[in-house]
Structures are given as structure tokens and as C-alpha cells.
């Protein structure tokens, strides 16, 4: 995959991309969530 033979390395490459997508997806999904908004009360 991606020109890399060692599965430990290409899975590391993939894990970086997936974890970034996880951050983007989580943030987008909860973009307006604001439970426990103590400061604004």
C-alpha cells in the first residue's frame, strides 16, 4: 500500500490519516454542541 511493503509502516501512515479524519469528523459533528456551558450562565 502507498508503495510501502511493511504492514507496520503503511498501517502507521494510515493511522495518521485516520486519526486526523477522526479529529475533523468529531469536531464537525459536535461543532455546535455546548453541554455544561457554565461560563456563559
Q: How far is the CB of 17 from other proteins (least distance, A)?
A: 8
Positions in the binding site for other proteins (CB under 8 A): 2-6, 8-9, 12-13, 15-17, 19-20, 22-24, 26-28, 30-40
Using the 8-state DSSP alphabet, how is residue 11 labeled? Answer: H
Interatomic CA distance for residues 20 and 23, integer angstroms:
5
Do 4 and 15 contact (CB within 8 A), yes or no?
A: no
Amino acid at each position: 500500500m502507498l508503495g510501502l511493503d511493511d504492514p507496520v509502516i503503511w498501517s502507521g501512515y494510515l493511522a495518521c490519516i485516520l486519526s486526523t479524519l477522526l479529529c475533523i469528523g468529531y469536531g464537525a459533528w459536535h461543532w455546535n454542541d455546548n453541554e455544561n456551558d457554565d461560563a456563559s450562565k
